[in-house]
């Protein structure tokens, strides 16, 4: 039946896509429900950065390591292109205090085998020759970081799942759930009902609202990030650049005027990010925000002020109260599996999807995921 599958996945972002990809590989019949279009959420609106040194050592970092190998496989096997490039990446610091905090962070990563160092002043130009080092005082450099095309990666997962029989219903919004013996029996959408043995919730920033229908209150919030994209130009930026606040953990402490950017394989640059706390899923872009972004970029890269900006957009991305993902089976509704609040999900999505499929099918279970259990909010 068209509305019945082994697994119903709600949300066609990179997380839902990766889970669908691995479940169909294991022979499961999968239905993906998406309120808008595939990759229309955060997964279609981001910078494509593969970031390592804002990951918590442990499972999250292991996911990042495994994902790198899995990414290489998709292209090598001719499945889909990700444009993955490992270029090294930097996080920018503007004062001594940030640099000192950065030193502690990179030591932690070096101790577990990553190649990281603090670059001071003109040393930053070894990685980014065009950056103005009178503005940026220091940077945390990590050799293993890189970039990919987030759009082709997300669509690649979903397309491959469809090749293996998954069905994707776009413009199909999940509105509610009906229960039987505390299990989800029916997923109610604006296009009718869907039925599955397991329900996967991969709804990113929308998770808290949707879960309120089940009287659950997962403490998952969201911010709105704006980016601008330029015309393609010769290579002028080497690797991903993120604000130092990502690395030292002060992102949500009030300074929204941040610089994060990537030059992609096709030569375009995505420049961000004006990230703010927002309600009502507002994806608008503001004039002030856009001008602020452009000025901020020009200050850091004075030689690159002739770039043509062709588009500006916003996307909504989640973060969880305790900064950990919400990942695993619900205790309250035992056939519901959550995969939400995974920050910077592109770095870890392949391993996250693979592990979710292993758990759902019952092939293996890594007890370290217990730390991410939805039960902590139930």
Ligand X SMILES: Cc1cc2nc3c(=O)[nH]c(=O)nc-3n(C[C@H](O)[C@H](O)[C@H](O)COP(=O)(O)OP(=O)(O)OC[C@H]3O[C@@H](n4cnc5c(N)ncnc54)[C@H](O)[C@@H]3O)c2cc1C
Binding interface with ligand X (CB under 6 A):
10-16, 33-36, 40-43, 45-49, 173-174, 202-206, 210, 225, 227, 272-273, 315, 317, 342-347
Which residue, 146, 105, 100, is CA-closest to 120? 100
Residue 130 CB, nearest distance to ligand X (Å)? 20
Q: Which is nearer to ligand X, 49 or 247 (CB)?
A: 49
Residue 256 CB, nearest distance to ligand X (Å)? 12
> Angle between the 349-361 and 59-76 helix axes, to the nearest 10 degrees?
100
Cα(161)–Cα(18) distance, integer angstroms: 9
Residue 282 CB, nearest distance to ligand X (Å)? 13
Q: Which is nearer to ligand X, 123 or 159 (CB)?
A: 159
Q: Which is nearer to ligand X, 99 or 349 (CB)?
A: 349
Q: Which is nearer to ligand X, 302 or 336 (CB)?
A: 336
Q: Which is nearer to ligand X, 244 or 344 (CB)?
A: 344
Q: Which is nearer to ligand X, 42 or 116 (CB)?
A: 42
Residue 228 CB, nearest distance to ligand X (Å)? 10
The 3-state secondary structure of the chain, one letter per residue: CCCEEEEEEECCCHHHHHHHHHHHHCCCCEEEECCCCCCCCHHHCCCCEECCCCCCCCHHHHHHHHHHHHHHHHHHCCCCCCCCEECCEEEEECCHHHHHHHHHHHHHHHHCCCCEEEEEHHHHHHCCCCCCCCCCCEEEEECCCEECCHHHHHHHHHHHHHHCCCEEECCCCEEEEEEECCEEEEEEEECEEEEEEEEEECCHHHHHHHHHCCCCCCCEEEEEEEEEEECCCCCCCCCCEEEHHHHHCCCCCCCCEEEEEEECCCCCEEEEEEEEECCCCCCCCCHHHHHHHHHHHHHHCHHHCCCCEEEEEEEEEEEECCCCCEEEECCCCCCEEEEECCCCHHHCHHHHHHHHHHHHHCCCCCHHHHHHCHHHHC
Q: Which is nearer to ligand X, 28 or 224 (CB)?
A: 224
Residue 332 CB, nearest distance to ligand X (Å)? 19
Residue 311 CB, nearest distance to ligand X (Å)? 13
Residue 120 CB, nearest distance to ligand X (Å)? 25
Q: Which is nearer to ligand X, 37 or 96 (CB)?
A: 37
Residue 84 CB, nearest distance to ligand X (Å)? 12
């Amino acid at each position: 039946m068209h509305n019945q599958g082994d697994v119903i996945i709600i949300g066609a972002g990179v997380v839902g896509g990766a889970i669908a990809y691995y479940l169909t590989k294991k022979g499961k019949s999968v239905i993906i429900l998406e309120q808008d279009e595939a990759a229309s959420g955060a997964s279609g609106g981001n910078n494509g950065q593969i970031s390592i040194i804002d990951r918590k050592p442990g499972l999250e970092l292991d996911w990042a390591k495994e994902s790198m190998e899995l990414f290489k496989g998709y292209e090598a096997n001719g499945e889909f292109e990700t444009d993955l490039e490992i270029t090294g990446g930097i996080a920018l610091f503007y004062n001594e205090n940030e640099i000192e905090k950065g030193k502690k962070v990179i030591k932690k990563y070096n101790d577990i085998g990553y190649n990281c160092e603090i670059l001071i002043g003109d040393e930053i130009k070894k990685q980014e020759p065009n950056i103005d080092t009178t503005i940026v005082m220091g940077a945390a450099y990590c050799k293993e970081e890189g970039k990919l095309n987030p759009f082709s990666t997300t669509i690649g997962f979903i397309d491959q799942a469809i090749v293996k029989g998954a069905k994707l219903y776009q413009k199909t919004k999940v509105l509610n759930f009906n229960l039987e013996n505390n299990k989800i029996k029916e997923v109610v959408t604006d296009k009718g009902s869907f039925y599955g043995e397991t329900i996967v919730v991969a709804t990113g920033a929308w998770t808290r609202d949707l879960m309120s229908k089940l009287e659950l209150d997962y403490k998952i919030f969201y911010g709105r990030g704006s980016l601008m994209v330029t015309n393609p130009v010769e290579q002028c930026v080497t690797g991903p650049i993120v604000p130092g606040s990502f690395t030292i953990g002060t992102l949500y402490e009030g300074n929204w005027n941040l610089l994060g950017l990537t030059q992609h394989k096709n030569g375009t640059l995505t420049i961000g990010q004006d990230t703010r706390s927002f309600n009502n899923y507002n994806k608008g872009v503001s004039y002030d925000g856009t001008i602020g972004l452009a000025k901020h970029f020009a200050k850091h890269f004075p030689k690159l002020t002739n770039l043509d900006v062709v588009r500006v957009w916003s996307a909504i991305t989640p973060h969880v109260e305790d900064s950990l993902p919400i990942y695993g089976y619900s205790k309250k509704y035992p056939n519901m599996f959550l995969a939400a609040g995974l920050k910077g999900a592109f770095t870890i999505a392949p391993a996250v999807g693979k592990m979710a499929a292993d758990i759902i099918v019952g092939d293996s279970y890594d007890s370290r995921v217990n730390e991410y259990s939805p039960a902590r909010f139930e």
